[in-house]
Amino acid sequence: MSNNKKYPVFFISDRTGITSETLGRTLLTQFTSIGFERINLPFINSVEKTRGAVERINQAATASNLSPLVFSTLIDDECKTILSESRGEVIDFFAAFIQPLEEILGRESSHTTGLSHGISDDTKYMNRIDAVNFTLSNDDGVSTKHYPSADVLIVGASRSGKTPTCLNLALQYGLRAANYPLDADDILNGSLPELLSPYRDKMFGLTIQPERLQRIREKRRPGSSYASLKQCQKDVRTVEALFHHEDIPYLDTSQVSIEEICTTIMEKMALKRRSIN
């Protein structure tokens, strides 16, 4: 293939496609020199829909003159057969692993579709909703009164990534994640503001490179002193000194994704996820 042509990649699933997409995207990161065009085909749960998917794959094959990659988590045998007759190269997630797993576990698999991202019971859904509600009503230090029931309290300078981190902890792990913004003026003698000190054991700090913080704040409030490099440097320096002084575990978020921040927090704070679906 030439370098300027996009390689067509399909993610096919009988349900949300999240598993096939996760697998496919991870594998494709190992082929950085190729440009891929990604097409997600979720809810392929009938023979008719599978035929429709095959048609799209074959069209992409004709248009690109390539054999499209097809990451599949289909379970139904008839659908799988139809898919295998497309002009794509099918990477069958279950075929590769189910049989070895059956041997290791000494059990047959249940061969049922779409169990991974479905909903199982009310309680688990409520765990998730409760966590999201808690996180929304304890965003940005609006009040400390619910902190006793928080699983974790994220602290850091304004715009260091606290809110998306907390929302992701709530949505993906069912955790009640509060956050409190620290700025240089709150911190006297390098110590925690008094209203926060009872919660030190729940605290995890976020920090960030001042230059990156400046770019983020600048988008929020262009030209403000709040967004100036000087203010960002001061806030970061003061907050980091506080983390050291109070022995609060922390992470520099400048080069890491929200997923990595959350995984790090889970690990360092020894947090357990709640069942969410």
34 contacts a second copy (rule: CB under 8 A): yes
CB of 117 to a second copy, least distance (A): 4
Do residues 264 and 165 touch, judged by C-beta distance below 8 A?
A: no
CB of 235 to a second copy, least distance (A): 18
Q: Which of 8, 10, 14, 15 binds a second copy (CB under 8 A)?
A: 15
CB of 232 to a second copy, least distance (A): 15
Number of residues that bind a second copy (CB under 8 A): 77
Do residues 176 and 151 touch, judged by C-beta distance below 8 A?
A: yes
274 contacts a second copy (rule: CB under 8 A): no
Looking at residues 80 to 119 of the shown chain, list those that interact with a second copy (rule: CB under 8 A). Answer: 89, 91, 93-94, 96-98, 100-101, 104-107, 109-112, 115-119
64 contacts a second copy (rule: CB under 8 A): no
Looking at residues 118 to 157 of the shown chain, list those that interact with a second copy (rule: CB under 8 A). Answer: 118-119, 122, 125-126, 128-130, 132, 136, 139
Closest CB to a second copy among residues 65, 110: 110
Looking at residues 220 to 249 of the shown chain, list those that interact with a second copy (rule: CB under 8 A). Answer: none
Compute the C-alpha angle 102/107/112, nearest 5°. Answer: 80
User: Which among 141, 137, 159 has a CA at the least distance from the CA of 232?
Assistant: 159
Piece of the chain touching a second copy by CB under 8 A; list 184-192, 223-231, 242-250, 252-260: 252-260
CB of 160 to a second copy, least distance (A): 11
Looking at residues 162 to 191 of the shown chain, list those that interact with a second copy (rule: CB under 8 A). Answer: 163-164, 167-168, 171
d(CA 85, CA 53): 11
25 contacts a second copy (rule: CB under 8 A): yes
Piece of the chain touching a second copy by CB under 8 A; list 36-44, 57-65, 77-85, 192-200: 36-44
CB of 267 to a second copy, least distance (A): 6
Closest CB to a second copy among residues 167, 175: 167
CB of 194 to a second copy, least distance (A): 29
CA atoms within 13 A on the CB side of 143: 8
**Sequence-separated (6 or more) residues with CB below 8 Å from residue 14:** 43, 44, 45, 73, 74, 75, 76, 79, 113, 114
d(CA 275, CA 111): 23
Closest CB to a second copy among residues 132, 192: 132
d(CA 198, CA 147): 9
